[in-house]
Structure 1
Amino acid sequence: MALTVSRQVFRTLSLGTKGTSAVSGAPLWTQTAGYKNFPAPPNYDDIEIPKERQKLKILQKVPQYHGSIRPIKMTKRLDLIRGEEEVHRDLILEQYGIVARRGGMLRHGHLEMIRLTIARKIDTKKMFAIWRIDAPWKPITRRGQGKRMGGGKGAIDHYVTPVKAERIIMEVGGKCSYEEVKPILKQIAHILPFPADPVSKETLEARRKEEERLEKENINPYTFKYFIQNDMLGCRDWVREIDLKYFGKYR
């Protein structure tokens, strides 16, 4: 006659055994306690949160001219968004921010989107944010639809802020980790009119080191830079002026 044991009795009989049941000899699932070594939490004692303003300030939509100075008009000046940023390319707070991967122009609506998103998402008790770009200052002119050609340059329609590649747009600091801030920065970077990435100090340094490593370990000598420097097939006569300086890296 087969021996039938209830689950409660089976657990009771199996106490004190080593992997097998005291009744049927079947293997058992035993609960064990182990030692887990969790990493120590980061130390934020050296970080000071400003008491005056934790959120981004409102940037003016139109620059203010003093006295009787008339607003000036400018040409397209695409050189302001071409190439690589040479000054504002590092994180001042050495924590987190958004870096532009390609040049472009930011309108006042983009800046308001960044400001409002930061105001809703960050915790002002332990976080704060700062701008790394200026308010819109470059005038963009536009002629009315259907108007005839001629008559001089059109009226100023709006103002923009030109941004080059590798430019830090804004920074977030405080007593927080990158995992907390990354979803907020990623949401902002996705809506910008040019490709941008959320970065921390570590990820920014790692990306630049990886670019240097790939350039050094490239075994193919016939690169675009080699073609331009040696004027192979007369390519210096037809390549763009920006390629003579950056060798196809920034378009």
Structure 2
Amino acid sequence: MFPTRLLRPAYTGTFIQVAGLKNFTPPPKYDHISLPEKPKLHFMEKVPTYPANLKPPKMAKRLTLMRGPEPIHNQLIHQQYGVVALCGGRLHSGHIEMIRMTINRKMDASKMFAIWRIDPPWQPLTRKGQGKRMGGGKGAIDHYVTPIKAGRVIVEVGGKCEFQQVKTFLCEVAEKLPFKAKATSYELMQEEKIKEQELQDANINPYTTEYVIKNNMGGCHEWISLYDKKWFFKHV
């Protein structure tokens, strides 16, 4: 008896083409999208303009302008693509100019457009000179910033294009910002909301963070922050 061996067909190196029907998804239509006259981002002034007889006012830190979720500018107007902040922070003129130069250079102005969703720098930050002793009042204004809250849409990009065409330079912008941000689209934002709601509905543990804080379990009100009582550890 000879040992049984698995016989394999010899490789001939020939390819046989098989004809058949193929169903390709049609490309998206952008007939409803109209491009503006000036599709690129405009320049933002580094210093706000004041009347000639008004001395530039100084301001406290006002950290509440960066805390918590963004209540208004948290949706995409044109329902296409944009950069969204994931936590609070501040943008100065250098960051804003970086966003403008990166997007204006790398986007196709004949098919795309970009719009700002933030205000120009308006909040003054003061600073004292190096080597000065303490006291002597508040220092001089050093520069101006724009406070950003979590969920704020910073810049929005749209036009006759897909997300893969703009994702590269939008991710580059998001990585260079001084706080955590991401490049996203309208569809991804809707999917995240649906997934978050599904996880909340599927949770079988009744002792959620909101339930524990609202009922002061373990006397947590004595040591948690006032902001934790309001946002339940979601925005630190």
TM-score, length of structure 2 as denominator length: 0.92
Any unmatched runs of 5+ in structure 1? 1-20
- Return closer, same or farther for 1:27/1:169 CA change in 2, 3 Å cut-off: closer
1:134 aligns with 2:119: yes
Structure 2 residue aligned with 1:240: 225
TM-score, length of structure 1 as denominator length: 0.87
Alignment of 1:1-251 (within 5 A): 29-51=15-37, 53-251=38-236
Where has structure 1 moved over 3 Å in runs of 4 or more?
26-29
Q: CA shift at 1:223, angstroms? A: 2.5
- Return closer, same or farther for 1:246/1:28 CA change in 2, 3 Å cut-off: same
Q: CA shift at 1:27, angstroms? A: 10
Deviations 1:96-146 (A, max 9, x none): 111111111001110000000011101111111000000000011111222
CA distance in 2, matches of 1:213, 1:156: 48
3-state DSSP of counterpart to 1:89: coil
Partner letter of residue 119 of structure 1? N
CA distance in 1, matches of 2:145, 2:137: 22
- Return closer, same or farther for 1:31/1:57 CA change in 2, 3 Å cut-off: same
Deviations 1:180-233 (A, max 9, x none): 111111111011111111111110111122122222222222232222111112
Partner letter of residue 137 of structure 1? W
Identical-residue share of aligned pairs (%): 54
CA distance in 1, matches of 2:199, 2:140: 48
Deviations 1:14-45 (A, max 9, x none): xxxxxxx9xx9x89742222222111111111
Partner letter of residue 69 of structure 2? E
* Larger deviation, residues 106-115 vs 213-222: 213-222
The count of corresponding residues between Structure 1 and Structure 2 is: 227
Any unmatched runs of 5+ in structure 2? 1-8
